[in-house]
């Protein structure tokens, strides 16, 4: 098999199920009933698919698992640099921002460039297809429909990245973020979405992450009903994030021979 199969075929080979245009299936080393790995066809990816692990599994192992079960050959995405020489990019994951009506708005792809550095190319939805470049209109929070559907008394967790918001949402929490990471300026258009809500900001454990958290807190102060910055790793400066914290809890629970009631559902 050299091309990505149909969703039903791929789901059967991956021991998973089709949900909303993607396949949810067991991640590397997980039980057959686990649904911690998302696999989605992507024509822009060199291998024809993107993966996202809700359990924080290594992306290389996840892609290797998919390639192995689907019989796909490993390839690199070819583009050209300024000198016209070929270079390879690999798509690791993609995240779609949807507007209040659930329509696609922004797509952020997480990629590795030819030097192994992370890149986050953006596309916007023009009503018919994805177009290269971010929207010209104001920013919206990630997972906006879920945020709007939650009651004002529900705690909203504001993370630094989409991966962490998805990891918390997988466990039933309301979580969000904003595009472009810790270095981005706060778009005032984001503020009204959090009016009168209970917000907990979860910074990454490094200087940029903590500065970003304070920037978000300053923007929301006086607008929200409750606000707290919760540093999960106050003694670290290694960039550890929410996904790492969940993985740490999971490992400790497994070492103790127990099922963590908070994160157990993410591994199956």
- What's the token pair of residue 10? 């791929």
Does the CA dihedral 25-254-159-63 come out positive or negative?
A: negative
What order do you get walking across the sheet with 17-19 strand by strand?
17-19, 22-25, 37-41, 49-53
Q: What is the mean pLDDT of the chain?
A: 87
User: Which candidate, 187, 184, 179, 196, places its Cα nearest to that of 219?
Assistant: 187
Q: What is the pLDDT of residue 74?
A: 65
What's the pLDDT tens digit per position in 133-152? 999 999 999 999 999 999 99
Q: What angle do CA 86, 131, 76 make, to 5 degrees?
A: 25
Beta carbons of 250 and 59 less than 8 angstroms apart: no
Lowest mean pLDDT among 48-62, 63-77, 225-239: 63-77
What's the pLDDT tens digit per position in 84-130? 444 578 888 889 999 999 999 999 998 888 888 888 999 999 988 88
Interval 231-247 mean pLDDT: 94
Q: What is the pLDDT of residue 71?
A: 83
Q: Is it the case that residue 54 has pLDDT exceeding 90? A: no
What is the 8-class DSSP label of residue 240?
B
Looking at 3.40.50.920, 3.40.1360.10, 3.40.980.10, 3.40.50.150, the CATH number of the domain 144-266 comes to 3.40.1360.10
Interval 19-43 mean pLDDT: 89
Q: Is it the case that residue 28 has pLDDT exceeding 50? A: yes
What's the pLDDT tens digit per position in 180-192? 989 899 999 999 9
Beta carbons of 131 and 123 less than 8 angstroms apart: yes
- Start-end of CATH 3.40.1360.10 domains in the chain: 144-266
Q: What is the pLDDT of residue 116?
A: 83
Taking the whole predicted model, whether its pTM rises above 0.85 is answered as no
Share of the chain above pLDDT 90, in %: 59
* Three-state SS letters, 107-119: EEEEEECCCCCEE
> Which of 43-47, 55-59, 144-148 is the most confident on average?
144-148
Does the CA dihedral 138-141-146-150 come out positive or negative?
A: negative
- What's the token pair of residue 232? 């999960």
Residue keyed to tokens 């559907």: 149
Residue keyed to tokens 């559902």: 265
What's the pLDDT tens digit per position in 60-94? 888 889 988 888 866 554 544 544 444 578 888 88
């Amino acid at each position: 098999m050299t091309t990505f199969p149909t969703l039903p075929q791929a789901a059967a080979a991956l021991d998973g199920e089709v949900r909303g245009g993607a396949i949810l299936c067991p991640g590397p080393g997980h039980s057959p009933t686990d649904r911690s790995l998302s696999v989605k066809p992507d024509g822009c990816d060199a291998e024809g698919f993107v993966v996202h692990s809700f359990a924080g599994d290594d992306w290389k192992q996840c892609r290797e698992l998919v390639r192995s079960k689907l019989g796909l050959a490993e390839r690199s995405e070819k583009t050209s640099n300024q000198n016209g020489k070929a270079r390879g990019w690999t798509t690791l994951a993609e995240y779609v921002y949807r507007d209040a009506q659930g329509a696609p708005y922004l797509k952020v792809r997480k990629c590795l460039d030819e030097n192994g550095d992370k890149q986050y190319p953006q596309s916007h939805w023009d009503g018919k297809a994805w177009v290269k470049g971010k929207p010209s209109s104001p920013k919206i929070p990630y997972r906006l429909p879920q945020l709007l559907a939650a009651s004002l008394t529900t705690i909203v967790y504001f993370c630094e990245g989409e991966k962490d918001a998805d990891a918390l949402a997988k466990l039933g929490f309301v979580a969000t973020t904003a595009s472009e990471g810790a270095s981005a300026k706060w778009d005032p258009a984001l503020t009204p979405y959090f009016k009168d809500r209970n917000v907990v900001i979860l910074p990454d454990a490094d200087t940029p992450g903590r500065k970003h958290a304070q920037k978000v807190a300053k923007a929301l102060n006086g607008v929200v009903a409750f606000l707290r910055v919760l540093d999960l790793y106050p003694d670290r400066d290694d960039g550890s994030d929410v996904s790492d914290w969940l993985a740490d809890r999971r490992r400790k629970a497994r070492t103790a021979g127990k099922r963590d009631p908070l994160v157990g559902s993410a591994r199956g």
